Amino acid sequence: SDAQHYRKVKFEHNRHSILCSELKHLYVAVTRPRKNLYIFERDMANVKPMLSYWMENRTEPLVRIADAHKFVSRGIVRSTTPEEWRKQGKIMLEHQYYPQAVQCFTYSNDDDLLLQATALLKTKQAGDMQKRLHSCVVPEQAESMKQNVQTLFREAGEIFLSISFEFQAAQCFVSCCEYNKAAELFKACGSFEAAAEAYVQVKEHKKAAECFLDAKRISQAAEQYFLAKMYFDALDLMNQYPHQFDESLSLEKVTQDAIHYYLEGEEADWVAIVRIVSYLSRDVSVKLENAVKDVSATNGELLDQLHAR
């Protein structure tokens, strides 16, 4: 029989991956019909091994071979309507079969769904390439793959943006390191914490603080104000919400850093220093008073204000 002439096929990773995918689709096709399954193939050589397996050693064959033109005349084969393509495309989209979804929406002439499927396909391709990138040991190849990943995410982001999927677009722009663009989109969606995290990546501390504040992330907002050297904003939050801060950002740490900052330069900003000290408890302010005495010895007005606390 034909089975005696089968030979072992040499393993090839790329072809094996494609075969696995095709077998999954074949499984779906074979298990979906309730009674009859029709397979149309122009090249009989391609399906001969499968047909031989299904037909051999059986009292009644599982399959029949016939001319496809006869089925057309009987009305079994007909054109798929756009609505049917659309329905099938949504199923493919739900199961993350993005290439098939792209094909279905192309035939159904659904532009927005086609763009959505295309963008999702690009993000899937970028994600798969990103996983392979971690195991790449050739620097030149790794750099090329990294650029391709960013290009795919950027293209996907632009497509999402064109169909008003702002949140998904922002996620793509984060993945291709376009943080400012991502942050603005996150803000437009009301995702303030995500916007703040994007601003942090590019050291936009003031904008990050404002977004953290909108997201009710008080300690993160104060930390970003601190990094932006907006000490009074940070101190106001620390005084207003004292229980939301731990040792990583203490009142004393902020005030000490602020005093050093306002002492720098050709002329110290004594008014700002006095304001900073006013945030402190008496015992801490005495320590800081001693720290600035040497610098401010000639400024009697400052010392008078410090003693007045």
The domain limits of the chain are 1-78, 82-177, 197-249, 253-309
Give dist(CA 128, CA 135) in Å, integer. Answer: 12
Average model confidence (pLDDT) for the chain?
A: 82
For residue 98, the one-letter residue type is: Y
**CA dist., res. 196 & res. 179, Å (int):** 10
pLDDT digit string, tens, across residues 148-174: 999 999 999 999 999 999 999 999 999
Instruction: Assign 203 to helix, strand or coil.
Output: coil
Q: How many CA atoms lie within 13 A of 100 on its CB side?
A: 15
Residue 45 clears pLDDT 70, i.e. is over it: yes
Contact present, 117 and 107 (Cβ < 8 Å): no
Q: At what angle do helices 192-201 and 218-227 cross, to 10 degrees?
A: 30
Tell me what pLDDT residue 193 has: 97
171 compared with 145, residue with greater pLDDT: 171
6 — pLDDT class (breaks 50, 70, 90): low
Mean pLDDT of 223-238: 93
Decide which of 15 and 297 is more confident: 15
Nearest to 218 by CA among 203, 239, 198, 201: 239
Average pLDDT (26-48) is 76
User: Which of 4-18, 150-164, 236-250 is least confident?
Assistant: 4-18
Position 91, amino acid: I
Q: Give the mean model confidence (pLDDT) for residues 141-151.
A: 91
Average pLDDT value for residue range 251-267: 82
